[in-house]
Amino acid sequence: MEKAVNPSEQKTLIIELTQGQEMANELKKQLDSFTSSDTCEALVQNILSTYDKALSMLTWRAEKGHETLSPQSDSLADNSIISEGSNGLFIKDQLQCQKDVTKKRKTLPKWTEQVRVCYGNGHEGSLDDGYSWRKYGQKDILGANYPRAYYRCTHRNSRGCLATKQVQKSDMDPSMVEITYKGRHSCCNQAANPPSKIISDGKEMPKPKKARLILLEEGEEENKQRTAQEMMQQHLGQGLKVETEILKTDEEIFPSFSLSYTGVDQSENLESQFLSDVMRESADAMGGYCYSPAFLSPASSESNNYFSISSSCQMDNNFGYITDPQTLSKSNDFTDMISTPTSVITDSPFCCDLDFPIDQVDFDPCFSLDDALAYFS
């Protein structure tokens, strides 16, 4: 079903990604020491170039694979390009799509994030994520210490927005709430800047929160991508620290997937393709926020099936970037990590810990992954 990945291509890919990581680290150092912006700019350029190469390889691969897809795939969204990978997950999705072809698609994009609530003032269930929600139910969940609350978008009726979320306090850490979003908002995506209303409202300004975001592999690819956009739109605009992981619903939370040094067989690149698509799509949809791929970097050591973004630009106008797959994947100390934004593990060669004022960075507002990848599409 799937051809093995060309080893040399894979090697190059890994090298490129690794270089990107290393340069990002270097950039971090530069930024830490407030050295010349020229140096930073050059580094950023290198990083972008590195990721360009890597992503283009992935894109090319994916498209090559696309040609081998069964005819049915044509009925899928164009974005199903991701599915072509031999990743079992995507295959499964695809099969499910085919199976559901007669039914109304019921799978909605779904992702979970864990938000640490620092201020324990009862706002756990109503953490403002920029959207307005209406609670429509609450259930005690078997085996869980805390009930799960169900919210739907306030505009469900008025605008037919089907987005919902579930909020449940974490058993492990009561200061955390797990928020599972389902469906994307059709109500206010067009709004100028939904999340920022929190600021303009002058309402309570919670401390920057950190959220761990887990993309669940459900729903059509298009929605997965939009899902990522929404997460970013929501959180980048409101001082949420967000870490995103792509994972499979039917596997361990942290599967042993690796882009790694030893041969990626078939599927892994697909996940990467997914990442790149997500990134491309996200950058594309950022509107006013045009994010450089440098800030949407696939991690490059083990457990690479996630990427992370983190930011906190509302409260302190800072932009953080955290990558440490190892730590995340074994995240017993994850909570420590997220509760101490500046203490990100640094002993991994792939770890990045960038914290710098966003206004010191010369973002090219016109750059997007689309630009970077347009050539290959």
Partner DNA sequence: ATAATTTGACCGGG
Partner DNA sequence: CCCGGTCAAATTAT
Q: How far is the CB of 126 from DNA (least distance, A)?
A: 6
**Binding of DNA by 166 (CB under 7 A):** yes
**Binding of DNA by 143 (CB under 7 A):** yes
Cα–Cα distance, 96 to 220 (Å, whole number) = 10
# binding residues, DNA (CB under 7 A): 21
Single residue of 1, 142, 192, 366 touching DNA by CB under 7 A: 142
**Binding of DNA by 306 (CB under 7 A):** no
Q: How far is the CB of 189 from DNA (least distance, A)?
A: 19
Q: How far is the CA of 207 from the CAs of 195, 210, 212, in angstroms?
A: 15, 9, 16
Nearer to DNA (CB atom), residue 93 or residue 355: 93
Q: How far is the CB of 225 from DNA (least distance, A)?
A: 22
Q: How far is the CB of 184 from DNA (least distance, A)?
A: 14
Q: How far is the CB of 169 from DNA (least distance, A)?
A: 14
**Binding of DNA by 160 (CB under 7 A):** no
Contacts of 252 (CB under 8 A, 6+ apart): none
**Binding of DNA by 141 (CB under 7 A):** yes
Nearer to DNA (CB atom), residue 114 or residue 164: 164
Amino acid at 355: D
Q: What's the burial of 36, exposed, middle or buried (CB within 10 Å: 0-12/13-18/19+)? A: exposed
Please give the residues from 196 up to 255 whose contact with DNA meets the rule CB under 7 A: none
Please give the residues from 119 up to 138 whose contact with DNA meets the rule CB under 7 A: 126, 132-138
Nearer to DNA (CB atom), residue 4 or residue 253: 253
Do 75 and 220 meet the contact criterion of CB atoms below 8 Å apart? no
What is the signed CA dihedral for 297, 301, 303, 307, rounded to 10 degrees? -10
Q: How far is the CB of 17 from DNA (least distance, A)?
A: 35
Rg, the chain, Cα only: 20
In the complex, the residues that contact DNA under the rule CB under 7 A are 126, 132-143, 148-150, 152, 154, 164, 166, 182
